[in-house]
């Protein structure tokens, strides 16, 4: 049961990290990120990474297999259901997934002594993807266009990274909760709604705790 | 053949066949066969998820075969 829980936590972090990198690529290249693609990529990537981690295990080869299978599955789905995707986008997603897997496995999960920089990058990427998904949801409900520009996403990523890195300096789980509360307070001070601030607090704290749970587990 | 290998083969075949039907077969053929459940988009997503399960089962089978053919070397014990 514990093995399955670790695999699920690992898959959540890898999936969201890959999605964040992929969405940054999309935003940098000026292609639109839509809510339906976000949801489908999340489902397909999470299923692939969680199944491979729970049934086969972790490592360089399982990571490469996860990246190829998830990207291929997304490409097959996109070609048949949403014929708007180029092969290059699927290949870029495979590379993004490989990078996220490498960060979460080689730099967070495998090391007994947590590597602070990689830990902070993993938490920041996963939180950014959740924030982006939340904003896509809001924007889609309102019927407007893009959720985040590349510049804005980069600024958010830097803020998340700094908060996560500062939290890792105190070697426990609670600094993650405090950093999440600081993020929520920052959002409120910049004029965000209460619900937005709560979402920021919950997503950041949740991702920090997940990364804290899987560190040194492999 | 170990129990895990047998299960991998069964899952790979079952998930692969059902996943391929749901993903690649034309919707009107599915409707003619009485399998016109859910929307086309949902069917394709379920089919792709089944194909992922099949791919992971094949990968598990390959790792089992690899372990069977290349057994781990026994650790060298130091004689004192």
Tell whether the model's pLDDT for residue B77 goes beyond 70: no
The pLDDT assigned to A114 comes to 61
The pLDDT assigned to A117 comes to 83
Taking CB atoms and an 8 Å cutoff, what residues of chain B touch A70? 52
Q: Do A69 and B63 touch (CB under 8 A)?
A: no
- Taking a C-beta distance cutoff of 8 angstroms, is the pair A210, A13 a contact? yes
- The dihedral built from the CA positions of residue A122, A126, A127 and A128, taken in this order, carries a sign that is positive
Q: Do A69 and B55 touch (CB under 8 A)?
A: yes
Taking CB atoms and an 8 Å cutoff, what residues of chain B touch A52? 56, 59
Q: What is the ipTM of this complex?
A: 0.84
pTM: 0.86
CB atoms within 10 A of CB A88: 9
Tell whether the model's pLDDT for residue A50 goes beyond 80: yes
Burial class (CB in 10 A: 0-12, 13-18, 19+), A106: middle
Residue % of chain A over a pLDDT of 70: 94
How many A/B residue pairs have CB atoms within 8 Å? 46
List, for residues A58-107, the tens digit of each pLDDT value.
Answer: 888 999 999 999 999 988 888 887 666 677 888 888 999 899 888 888 77
Taking CB atoms and an 8 Å cutoff, what residues of chain A touch B59? 52, 56, 65, 69
Q: Do A56 and B24 touch (CB under 8 A)?
A: no
């Amino acid at each position: 049961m514990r093995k399955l829980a670790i695999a699920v936590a690992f898959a959540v972090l890898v999936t969201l990290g890959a999605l964040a990198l992929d969405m940054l690529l999309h935003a940098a290249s000026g292609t639109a990120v839509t809510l339906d693609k976000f949801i489908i990529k999340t489902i397909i990537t999470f299923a692939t990474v969680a199944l491979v981690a729970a049934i086969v295990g972790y490592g360089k080869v399982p990571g490469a297999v996860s990246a190829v299978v998830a990207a291929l599955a997304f490409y097959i789905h996109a070609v048949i259901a949403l014929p708007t995707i180029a092969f290059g986008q699927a290949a870029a997603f495979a590379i993004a997934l490989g990078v996220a897997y490498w960060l979460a496995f080689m730099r967070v999960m495998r090391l007994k002594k947590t590597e602070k920089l990689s830990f902070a990058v993993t938490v920041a990427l996963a939180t950014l993807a959740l924030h982006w998904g939340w904003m896509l949801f809001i924007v889609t409900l309102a019927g407007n266009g893009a959720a985040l520009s590349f510049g804005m996403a980069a600024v958010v990523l830097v803020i998340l990274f700094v908060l996560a890195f500062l939290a890792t300096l105190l070697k426990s789980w609670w600094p993650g909760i405090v950093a999440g509360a600081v993020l929520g307070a920052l959002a409120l001070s910049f004029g965000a709604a209460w619900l937005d601030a709560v979402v920021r607090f919950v997503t950041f704290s949740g991702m920090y705790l997940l990364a804290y749970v899987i560190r040194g587990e492999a | 053949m170990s129990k895990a290998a047998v299960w991998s083969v069964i899952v790979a075949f079952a998930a692969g066949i059902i996943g391929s039907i749901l993903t690649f077969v034309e919707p009107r053929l599915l409707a003619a066969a009485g399998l016109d459940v859910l929307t086309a988009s949902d069917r394709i997503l379920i089919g792709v998820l089944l194909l992922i399960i099949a791919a992971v089962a094949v990968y598990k089978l390959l790792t089992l075969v690899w372990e069977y053919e290349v057994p781990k070397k026994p650790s060298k014990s130091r004689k004192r």
